[in-house]
Chain A
Amino acid sequence: MTRRFRPSRPSRRSLAVVAGAAVTALALTGCGGSEDSGPSASAKPELKVSGAYMPAPLSGDMATGFFTVTNSGGADTLTSVSSDAAADVTMHETKDGAMVEEDFFAVPADGRLAFASGGNHLMFEKLDHRPKEGDKVAVDLHFARSGTVEVEIPVKSATYVPKTGH
């Protein structure tokens, strides 16, 4: 939401200069489509999950969870998330202020997939109890190629902000 009020950054100038110099027939790509380049796309994914946390929820009706998947190998896809602690776990993306449930999230080759407050988030519904700060919630992340990755998500305070930012 903040970006809406932000004046545009000077990065445009550098690209304009590049384009101006090019002058003739030339295909210019505005942003890095690096996911589909290189041999790593078919390589085995190497996933690591870090920075997971759940802000202490107000009740057992609903909670959210965040984490980052870092991939040092080939592309993979997060296809679903499940937990014994909740009847439903769904994945949501924030697009232009709209929260939209998604069926899968791409984990780019040599890239990362971030679930962070204000952006992508997990939605836990109908938890068997209300998780409290200091608890851990066991969650299974299901990937198309890497299979299931088990994560213990620590429950932090309701106003916790990760130090590394998003």
Chain B
Amino acid sequence: MKRTKYTATAAALLAAAALTLTACGSDDASDPVAVVSEDASSKGAVTVLDQPFEKPDLVLTDTHGKKYDLRAETEKRPTLVYFGYTHCPDVCPLTMNNIAVAKKQLPRAEQDKLRVVFVTTDPKRDTPAELGKWLKGIDPDIVGLTGGFAKTQAAARSLGISIEPTTKDKNGKVVSTHGTQVIAFSPSTDKGYLLYSQDATVDDYTKDLPRIIDGRKP
């Protein structure tokens, strides 16, 4: 839908005369949050970032109730970071399960190197215990972090990921907003250099994880 807006502009300039132009639903007014080039060979599921992200300086609480400093704990580790919440029925469990299934296919030593970090966007409901219970059903090795929403939002923002507190609209319907990207951080640079969309499958992660563990591009 986004494209039609530009289409309409170009067409209108050309037409130059009295002309009624309707572009369908250009509700996509938001600007891109990161300028990236797309790796066309990978069906758009993974993007190699031209300008890698700094790892956010984020200190939250893990599922054991302990303080977890993201930069210190994942230093020089291949790390995948995702923002989501346990009351999410579709994309959050799917993404975490995709990564968990792919990870289990790695040799044990490589599995031990990898850090997978799930940061909740719904800290009110996702207490350390709730988050721990949920992640245990996926992969107990996944680090679950919960804490202040503002800190979490700022960290997500620094990675080009938009999250909002879960709210109710005027009809009492729940509205949840969260970007569904996974950011992969390199063990050699500690920078976020790959971005996975929600379309990334088990096969995509199975293919790419060995390379991520070595800090290589897929």
Contacts and interface: CB of A to CB of B under 8 A. Distances in A.
Q: How large is the interface on B (under 10, 10 to 19, 20 to 34, 35 or more residues)?
A: 35 or more
Interface in A81-124: 95-103, 117-118, 121-124
B167 to A, nearest CB: 10
22 contacts: A1-B179, A2-B44, A4-B2, A4-B30, A5-B44, A16-B10, A19-B14, A20-B15, A23-B17, A25-B18, A27-B22, A28-B20, A30-B4, A30-B23, A55-B94, A59-B133, A59-B134, A62-B87, A122-B89, A123-B89, A159-B94, A159-B201
B174 A101 contact: yes
Interface string B95-138: 00110010000000000000000000000000000000110011
Contacts of A2: 44-45, 197-199
B138 A97 contact: no
Nearest to B202: A159
Nearest to B195: A5
Contacts, number: 158
B15 A19 contact: yes
Q: Is the interface of A mostly helix, strand, loop or mixed?
A: mixed
Interface centre among A28, A58, A124 (most CB of B within 10 A): A58
A19 B12 contact: yes
Contact of A12 (B6, B88, B101): B6
Interface in B151-200: 162, 164, 169, 171, 173-181, 195, 197-199
Contact of A20 (B11, B22, B169, B177): B11
Nearest to A25: B18
Contacts of B197: 1-2
A6 B164 contact: no
Contacts of B176: 98-99
